[in-house]
Amino acid sequence: MKSQAQLSTLLFELDSRGYKAYKQIKGEYEFEDDFTLIIDYVQGDPFAAPTQCSVIIPQAIAKFSEDLYSTLSREIALRDYLSRQFAQVAKEFSGFRGTGKSGLIQGIEPAQEVFERTSVFIDDQDIEVRFWVGLPAKGRSILGRQAEEMLCYDLPQIVKKSLLYENLDGAAIKEHIETVEDAEWIRSELDKRGLVSFIANGSILPRRSGVDPRPLTDNVVPFEAPTDLEVSFDCPNHGLIKGMAISKGITLIVGGGYHGKSTLLKAVELGVYNHVPGDGREWVITNASAVKVRSEDGRSIASVDISPFINHLPQGQSTQRFCSNNASGSTSQATNIIEALEVGATALLLDEDTSATNFMIRDRRMQQLIQKDKEPITPFVDKVRQLYKDHGVSTVLVMGGSGDYFDVASTVIAMENFQPHDVTTEAQSIAAAHKNERLLEGGDTFGEITPRIPVSESIDASRGKRSVTIKVRDTHALGFGTEDIGLGGVEQLVETSQLRAIALGIIYGKDKYGEANLALKDLVAKIMADIEEEGLDILSEYPQADLAYFRQFELVAALNRLRTLQIQ
Ligand code: ADP
Ligand code: MG
């Protein structure tokens, strides 16, 4: 291994030379402050993806006590905390030092959620942090002195400030870890207690804006559970936490427009993840198999059996193996539900704002005007009970616009001035007093969920000479080879690193299990089990800083939206 002094000398020597000469700095360097810098991949020009590096600090120097990472949830929380610290301090040192990305020092910047990422690792021996550096240049000529300053002077300071326990806020670390641990514990209790979700009193649900996930601060109304729906959890670290239970079964969220219905559902959706302390949703905890489904016209569909909801399409199109390059609102929503059920969703989350009206309701008058044999859709209201009864799948539904769901709901929560009220009894007596004359169209059973086996060759991420090309700009789309996978309708994705990992997960699954001809459910189960066993790094041949946790639901959602996908 070379020394820090050798890196220094080398960088001075490279000054003014052509950018490609930077390639020589690839390698490992022992720094005077007792950490190792590894330069894994050197960028080809100042505008290209920046140079990827990692730093390894021995625990003898970093000194994190073992109880801070003694269990998986503690370890993930600590890694998350350090990712945030490193990114923040790096940002202070990062600056514009020439052309393109020159001067950049960047760690992964997590959203509000805490989950496993490949940016930081920790064990008894050392801490590893992965990050990016924009090697500086003026035009295409190397700025060696500036590079030396960044790597040999700034970097040791960033490491010292953000990764040595003695320089960090011990109380904040403890709170971060204990919050995640308690949240994880509550999630593990939900099922036993018959709950889909829990929203603690005092939670702050609204966000600062549609593009800013930090908590709203002005005129915010904290959440308070109605007495009838209040439950409590005696958490390992934070003691008693009280809040509102959303039980299994069918829960309806009603209320006037702008009274906070969608905000509540959104928080429940993201409650499948843990959140950082201070987020306001750190005690909003949802069953990890709850899936948001919405309508998504325009998406592609590969041989999905949507016959529980849709039959007798015009021109005799099959709904047992329904295919479309351009689905309608109702067929896309039916598909999203069936695909979630196919891989084991135990709860569905729906919002009227993003649902197809004709998929959700069909009233008596319409039943009379358009007879059942002329309407392919069986509305969700006529299937939601059967879904719970036959498959044990709960539904949480925001519906302010129709009382037709009163007949099927087990709980009705009304949002009024951003506060929940239990109006179940009232809704039931209204339903009894004003009999709904609509005909029930759903039959006695929900119907079968038909497993699908993908055609391995139809999954292809190659582009030109490259066998794998993945591009991720935001959480709405994934460039996969020559295809663009639209993920705007998959609302439980929060970070681009998840999309990158999902893309690699699909390729991993194809390479490793493609020939086994597994059903989708079994294929994703294998991929998820391998990741759980070995970590996200198995998805990549070289170390990457920005791969993050995802669920099987989002993995399969991406695969299902791949327009080339074929089913056997
Ligand atoms: P609905 O779905 O009932 O029409 P939304 O959930 O979309 O209403 O909320 C309407 C607005 O109120 C949003 O701008 C949201 O950020 C804000 N809001 C939601 N909950 C609260 C709250 N507890 N305190 C303050 N503002 C809130
Ligand atoms: Mg709404």
pLDDT of residue 265: 98
- Closest ligand to residue 255's CA: 1
The residue with tokens 């959890």 is 233
The residue nearest atom 16 of ligand 1, judged by CA position, is: 206
The residue nearest atom 20 of ligand 1, judged by CA position, is: 260
End-to-end CA separation in angstroms for the chain: 52
Is 206 touching ligand 1 by the criterion CB < 6 Å? yes
Measure the CA–CA gap between 562 and 301, rounded to whole angstroms.
9
pLDDT of residue 368: 96
Is 338 touching ligand 1 by the criterion CB < 6 Å? no
| Average pLDDT of every residue of the chain | 97
Is 281 touching ligand 1 by the criterion CB < 6 Å? no
Sign (positive/negative) of CA torsion 451, 455, 458, 462? positive
| Low-confidence spans in the chain with pLDDT less than 70 | none
pLDDT of residue 316: 86
Dist. CA 406 → ligand 2 center (Å): 18
Q: What distances in angstroms separate CA 188 from CA 117, 198, 287, 321, 325, one per listed residue?
A: 21, 12, 8, 36, 39
Is 261 touching ligand 1 by the criterion CB < 6 Å? yes
The residue nearest atom 11 of ligand 1, judged by CA position, is: 258
Dist. CA 257 → ligand 1 center (Å): 9
The residue nearest atom 27 of ligand 1, judged by CA position, is: 206
Q: Are 155 and 163 a contacting pair, CB within 8 Å?
A: no
Sign (positive/negative) of CA torsion 546, 115, 229, 428? positive
Query: Among the atoms of ligand 1, which is closest to the Cα of residue 400?
Result: 3
pLDDT of residue 233: 98
Is 464 touching ligand 1 by the criterion CB < 6 Å? no
Q: Are 248 and 394 a contacting pair, CB within 8 Å?
A: yes
Is 210 touching ligand 1 by the criterion CB < 6 Å? no
The percent of the chain in helix, strand and coil, each rounded to the nearest 5, is 40, 25, 40
Is 262 touching ligand 1 by the criterion CB < 6 Å? yes
Mutate to test the pocket of ligand 1, among 199, 258, 399 (most ligand atoms within 8 A of CB): 258
Query: Among the atoms of ligand 1, which is closest to the Cα of residue 257?
Result: 4
Q: Are 71 and 181 a contacting pair, CB within 8 Å?
A: yes
pLDDT of residue 480: 97
Q: Are 525 and 501 a contacting pair, CB within 8 Å?
A: no
**Selection from 186, 337, 203 nearest residue 267 by Cα:** 203
Dist. CA 382 → ligand 2 center (Å): 22
Is 205 touching ligand 1 by the criterion CB < 6 Å? yes
Is 260 touching ligand 1 by the criterion CB < 6 Å? yes
The residue nearest atom 15 of ligand 1, judged by CA position, is: 206
Query: Among the atoms of ligand 1, which is closest to the Cα of residue 256?
Result: 3
Sequence-distant (6+) residues with CB within 8 A of 457 are none
pLDDT of residue 521: 97
**What is the DSSP annotation of 221-277?**
------GGGEEEEEETTTEEEEEEEEESSEEEEEE-TTSSHHHHHHHHHHTTSEE-T
Is 416 touching ligand 1 by the criterion CB < 6 Å? no
Is 257 touching ligand 1 by the criterion CB < 6 Å? yes
The residue nearest atom 5 of ligand 1, judged by CA position, is: 260
Is 220 touching ligand 1 by the criterion CB < 6 Å? yes
Strand partners, 454: 567
Distance of CA 317 to the CA centre of its chain: 34
Measure the CA–CA gap between 537 and 458, rounded to whole angstroms.
25
Dist. CA 262 → ligand 1 center (Å): 7
Mutate to test the pocket of ligand 1, among 263, 268, 352, 413 (most ligand atoms within 8 A of CB): 263
- Closest ligand to residue 259's CA: 1
Query: Among the atoms of ligand 1, which is closest to the Cα of residue 255?
Result: 3
Dist. CA 264 → ligand 1 center (Å): 8
Query: Among the atoms of ligand 1, which is closest to the Cα of residue 266?
Result: 6
Q: What distances in angstroms separate CA 471 from CA 101, 474, 507, one per listed residue?
A: 18, 9, 14
List the structure tokens of 159.
Answer: 């490491």
Q: Are 134 and 146 a contacting pair, CB within 8 Å?
A: no
The residue nearest atom 9 of ligand 1, judged by CA position, is: 260
Output phi, psi for 435, to 5 deg. -55, 130
Is 314 touching ligand 1 by the criterion CB < 6 Å? no
Is 258 touching ligand 1 by the criterion CB < 6 Å? yes
Angle between helices 72-93 and 170-190 (to 10 degrees): 140
**Selection from 244, 246, 222, 242 nearest residue 233 by Cα:** 242
- Indicate the DSSP class of residue 31: -
The residue nearest atom 23 of ligand 1, judged by CA position, is: 221
The residue nearest atom 25 of ligand 1, judged by CA position, is: 220
Region label for 257, one of left (φ > 0), alpha (ψ between -120 and 50) or beta (otherwise): beta
The residue nearest atom 22 of ligand 1, judged by CA position, is: 221
The reply to whether the predicted model has a pTM over 0.85 is: yes
pLDDT of residue 56: 98
Sequence-distant (6+) residues with CB within 8 A of 534 are none
